[in-house]
């Protein structure tokens, strides 16, 4: 099988066997890489369609022995097209590559954001399925390798062939997502829960709480080492223990001092209620589409998008906590 050369020439796509479907992945980013590797290890044929043979992701796919070719050749040859590229790129992706090459195919999305906000930019004459894993890409790969699989929210978004549910199951089987870990979901539930959870807890919340906790200790004169170890370093053990034990057993296992102090600090003081009040505001922005329309989707005048947050982002990236992380990483290597 000939692969794409690094001069950008179009590579060959794997020969199709009538019994075995071919998956074409657009690009080979974090999520696409994990999904393609899992599917291939399950014996499913995969080809990568790349917009640029010299890009880092095309080279990575090539180095991992995937067949790499152009987007158009990969999609035309495939039965399933995995579109795991940045969500905000998907609308333009269809504009650029055209809709007709997707006729009769089954599009796989890993997140419903683009379809929720721009359904009309998607091709019409195809199936569209959503498989949204509840694991970040490297964990999805790790969990597949250890045979655990993971949870995923899933939905059939368009059933042109009347076989979309079967197709969804085929891909989930290939990813080792078992039936009891496959949660049928509405598109809105997948999109809003993902947006809200990353803002309130998984990214925004954890970052803000860890930074605030670390900074408070340092500003009070405690050593950066003590502050770092008791926050950023220890958080993973606590989250793991909560996850493994469940909240009841976790609370029973921690010390009485930790229990009294934590309940007093967050619950008795009303802090938890104040946070929830703010979370409702954040959810309201998502639900009213203000978040997407005003802050995510840049207008033709360029208002919105990531650049307006650069100052805040720089504050995080240049924080003392980031410096402490680097110092500890160097120490670990010694």
Ligand X SMILES: NC(=O)c1ccc[n+]([C@@H]2O[C@H](COP(=O)([O-])OP(=O)(O)OC[C@H]3O[C@@H](n4cnc5c(N)ncnc54)[C@H](OP(=O)(O)O)[C@@H]3O)[C@@H](O)[C@H]2O)c1
Look at residue 47 and give its three-state secondary structure. Answer: strand
What's the rounded Cα separation, in Å, for the pair 151 and 103?
A: 30
Residue 111 among the catalytic residues: yes
CA 189 to chain centre: 16
- Partners of 106 in the beta sheet? 80, 127
- Least Å distance, CB 135 to ligand X, is 7
What's the rounded Cα separation, in Å, for the pair 297 and 283?
A: 17
Contact between 25 and 35 under an 8 Å Cβ cutoff? The reply is yes
- Provide long-range contacts, Cβ within 8 A and 24+ apart, for 38-42: 38/140, 38/141, 38/144, 38/174, 38/175, 38/176, 39/171, 39/174, 39/175, 40/66, 41/144, 41/145, 42/173, 42/174, 42/175, 42/176
- Least Å distance, CB 31 to ligand X, is 3
Contact between 48 and 11 under an 8 Å Cβ cutoff? The reply is no
Nearer to ligand X, 50 or 231 (CB): 50
How far from 46 is each of 14, 37, 133, CA to CA, in Å?
Answer: 8, 9, 19
Residue 286 in the binding site for ligand X (CB under 6 A): no
Closest among 106, 121, 155 to 297, alpha carbons compared? 121
Nearer to ligand X, 83 or 324 (CB): 83
Site string for ligand X, 5-44 (x = CB under 6 A): ---------------------xxxxxxx------------
- Least Å distance, CB 143 to ligand X, is 12
Look at residue 22 and give its three-state secondary structure. Answer: strand
Residue 207 in the binding site for ligand X (CB under 6 A): no
Q: Is 194 annotated as a binding residue?
A: yes
Site string for ligand X, 81-100 (x = CB under 6 A): ---xxxx-x--xx-------
Residue 73 in the binding site for ligand X (CB under 6 A): no
Nearer to ligand X, 202 or 238 (CB): 202
Q: Is 125 annotated as a binding residue?
A: no
Residues 6+ apart with CB under 8 A from 330: none
- Least Å distance, CB 32 to ligand X, is 6
- Least Å distance, CB 331 to ligand X, is 28
Nearer to ligand X, 11 or 27 (CB): 27
What residue is closest to ligand X based on CB? 29
Query: For tokens 């890409």, what's the residue?
Result: 137
Quick one: which of 3, 16, 51, 320 contacts ligand X (CB under 6 A)? Answer: 51
Nearer to ligand X, 22 or 137 (CB): 137
Quick one: which of 6, 42, 52, 72 contacts ligand X (CB under 6 A)? Answer: 52
- Least Å distance, CB 92 to ligand X, is 6
Could you say which residues in the range 134-153 bind ligand X, by CB under 6 A? Answer: 136-137
Backbone dihedral angles phi then psi of residue 152, each to the nearest 5 degrees: -150, 140
Look at residue 73 and give its three-state secondary structure. Answer: helix
Work out the end-to-end distance of the chain between its first and last CA atoms, rounded to an integer number of angstroms: 44
What are the residues binding ligand X (CB under 6 A)? 26-32, 50-52, 55-58, 84-87, 89, 92-93, 110-111, 136-137
Q: Which residues are annotated as a binding site for Mg(2+)?
A: 194, 198
Q: Which residues are annotated as a binding site?
A: 194, 198
Please give the positions annotated as active site: 111
């Amino acid at each position: 099988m000939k692969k794409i050369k690094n001069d950008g020439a179009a590579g060959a796509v794997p020969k199709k066997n009538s019994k075995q479907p071919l998956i074409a992945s657009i690009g080979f980013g974090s999520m696409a890489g994990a999904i393609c590797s899992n599917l291939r290890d399950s014996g499913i044929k995969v080809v990568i369609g790349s917009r640029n043979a010299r890009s880092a992701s095309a080279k990575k796919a090539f180095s991992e022995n995937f067949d790499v070719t152009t987007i158009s050749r990969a999609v035309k040859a495939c039965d399933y097209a995995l579109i795991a590229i940045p969500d905000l790129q998907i609308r333009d992706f269809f504009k650029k590559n055209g809709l007709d090459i997707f006729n009769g195919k089954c599009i796989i999305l890993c997140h419903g954001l683009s379809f929720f906000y721009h359904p009309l930019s998607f091709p019409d004459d195809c199936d569209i399925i959503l498989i949204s894993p509840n694991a970040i890409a490297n964990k999805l790969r790790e969990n597949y390798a250890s045979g655990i699989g993971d949870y995923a929210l899933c939905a059939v978004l368009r059933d042109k062939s009347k076989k979309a549910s079967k197709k969804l199951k085929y891909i989930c089987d290939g990813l080792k997502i078992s039936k009891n870990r496959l949660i049928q979901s509405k598109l809105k539930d997948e999109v809003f829960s993902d947006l809200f959870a990353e803002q309130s807890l998984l990214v925004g919340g954890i970052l803000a709480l860890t930074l605030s906790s670390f900074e408070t200790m340092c500003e009070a004169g405690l050593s950066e080492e003590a502050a770092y170890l008791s926050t950023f370093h220890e958080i993973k053990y606590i989250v793991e223990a909560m996850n493994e034990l469940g909240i009841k057993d976790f609370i029973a296992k921690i010390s009485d001092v930790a229990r009294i102090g934590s309940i007093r600090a967050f619950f008795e003081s009303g802090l938890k209620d104040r946070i929830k009040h703010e979370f409702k505001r954040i959810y309201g922005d998502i639900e009213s589409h203000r978040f997407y329309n005003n802050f995510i989707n840049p207008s033709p005048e360029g208002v919105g998008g990531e650049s307006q947050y650069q100052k805040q982002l720089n504050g995080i990236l240049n924080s003392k906590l980031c410096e402490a992380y680097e110092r500890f990483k160097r120490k670990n290597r010694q």
